[in-house]
A and B are shown apart, each in its own frame.
Chain A
């Protein structure tokens, strides 16, 4: 297998480099110029496939920076973080970290946070579907026992914290957005909630108390602990109303009995 491995290693190196090694065209039938030209098709295909994956995961970043700048970003990203996965829907995870350290993006310091949010939105699309909730299971519990339940969030749900109005930045760049295109960047810090009622992923800004509650729930804490965390941020936090809203939008999809 050494010959196959060596041919593939040289082929792969040529795909990632600017050009083939001087002696690499000898691997193929035809003159060197002809081989270089045709090898360019493969190089173009692999680059286009990676770029398309980044575009699919980060449509808001693409809108903010514009198509030309974005394709440059995607190319740079690919050279630093090449794909290691046959499922291109999993490619692009490090884009936020890449943007945070990419000097030309420095004028837009919120870009990395938007990328962090977009990655969670992208992954939420492929998250598991929750099993239907059976409220009858909990009906017999006493109020004390109910406080020991552990809220289970939809597998797509994530809470992100940002120094910027993150959910607003996301909202105004949606194709369906028709309001005033205005973002006051000084309106931070904020929390953004990623959720998926049925199959459509959405983002909402939530307050400190809600973020504390959902953060505790994501950590597997009990209702009582999550409630204490929320009320320490906002004494008027209304558990019943919040739970009702979160059930209606599939943020909370079930409760686990303590230890179960």
Chain B
């Protein structure tokens, strides 16, 4: 079965979800906070057992769950790490998530893993490589995955196309879906000086399967994507334009540093729901 013909499980995900982090485990074990769905970082659940997996298995029975990988390194020049992919497959088989996603970036080369989302040169040769890696992952997991645009601070001179043209071509050739991080589009538009609305229009209308929203901070002439604060007004505005273009897409509030009380995340989620519904009612 081709991954493209695999059951479209993202149908189970609707509305606005939040990232589940350890700081909020207790609330999700003791009660049922009002979130439409939950997303976790896959690698945090790569263990054989223990508390994290216990919590994830608890919530998966109550919410649609999305597994969001941060370290598969789909853009490595020397291929996908088979050990990492095997652990992801084990987790996917165990949790049967509604969505599985990764980033358009690289993180590892040779024996070394840098544990960060590093930028790619957007060349045709790199595209061939990433298409092959995404295809391998989809065949291994026997499902379609989503690939996310990353925030970046540098651009390679070697690039032959924009990040968004690259992502659109990747989706067309590999059959993957696009996880559009609206905050990252905004951050990069400031860091690299381009029009974020034009960037949205480089992505085909039907190609987006999930949207991410998060906060960032400013450092001198650039924006740093630290996922440590509320979504800022220009990003909400860009989200509104994304909703207008792509329709009602499952949206996630991400928050990874200085994690606030759960109510703050749920409040951000309610804001996203209001914007999405107003645009698509």
- Taking Cβ atoms with an 8 Å cutoff, the residues of A that contact B are 1, 3-5, 7-9, 11-12, 15-16, 26-30, 35, 37-39, 41-42, 45-46, 49-50, 53, 82-89, 91, 125-129, 155-156, 196, 199-200
Which of B43, B81, B116 gathers the greatest number of chain A CB atoms within 10 Å?
B116
- Residues in B209-223 with C-beta less than 8 Å from chain A: 219-220, 222
Q: Does B270 reach chain A (CB closer than 8 Å)?
A: no
Chain A residues, CB < 8 A from B118? 8, 11, 42
**Bound-state Cα–Cα, A227 to B73, Å:** 50
List 8 interface pairs A-B (beta carbons < 8 Å), by A numbering: A4-B120, A28-B154, A38-B222, A49-B116, A86-B70, A87-B84, A88-B43, A199-B54
CB neighbours (8 Å) of B120 from chain A are: 4
B156 near A84: Cβ-Cβ < 8 Å: no
A198 to B60, CA, bound (A): 20
- Whether a CB of chain A sits under 8 angstroms from the CB of B2 is no
Residues in chain A near residue B95, CB distance under 8 A: none
Instruction: Report the bound CA distance from A155 to B40 in whole Å.
Output: 25
**Is the contact region of chain A dominated by helix, strand, or loop, or is it mixed?**
helix
State whether A126 and B154 are in contact (beta carbons under 8 Å apart), knowing that A5-B78, A8-B77, A46-B116 are contacts in the complex: no
- B153 to A87, Cβ gap below 8 A? no
* Bound complex: CA A28 to CA B153 (Å): 10
Q: Knowing A5-B78, A46-B114, A83-B113 touch, does A199 contact B155 (C-beta < 8 A)?
A: no
Contact A28 B116 (CB under 8 A): no
Complex interface: chain B residues within 8 A of A155 (CB): 48-49
Q: Which residues of A contact B54 (CB under 8 A)?
A: 129, 199
Are A49 and B47 also in contact (CB < 8 A) when A1-B125, A4-B121 are? Answer: no
List which B109-129 residues lie within 8 A (CB) of chain A: 109, 111-116, 118, 120-121, 123, 125-126, 129
- Let me know if B178 is at the binding interface, CB within 8 A: no
Q: Is B241 an interface residue (CB 8 A)?
A: no
Which residue of chain B is the closest to A200 with respect to CB atoms? B51
Could you tell me the distance between the alpha carbons of A38 and B152 in the complex, rounded to whole angstroms? 9
Report the minimum CB–CB distance from A9 to chain B (whole Å): 6
* Interface residue? B252 (CB, 8 A): no
Interchain nearest-CB distance for A55 vs B (Å): 14
Assess whether A84 is in contact with B154, with CB atoms less than 8 Å apart.
Answer: no
Taking A8-B109, A199-B50 as given, write out 5 further A-B residue pairs in contact, using a Cβ cutoff of 8 Å, ordered by the A residue number. A1-B125, A41-B219, A46-B114, A127-B48, A128-B49
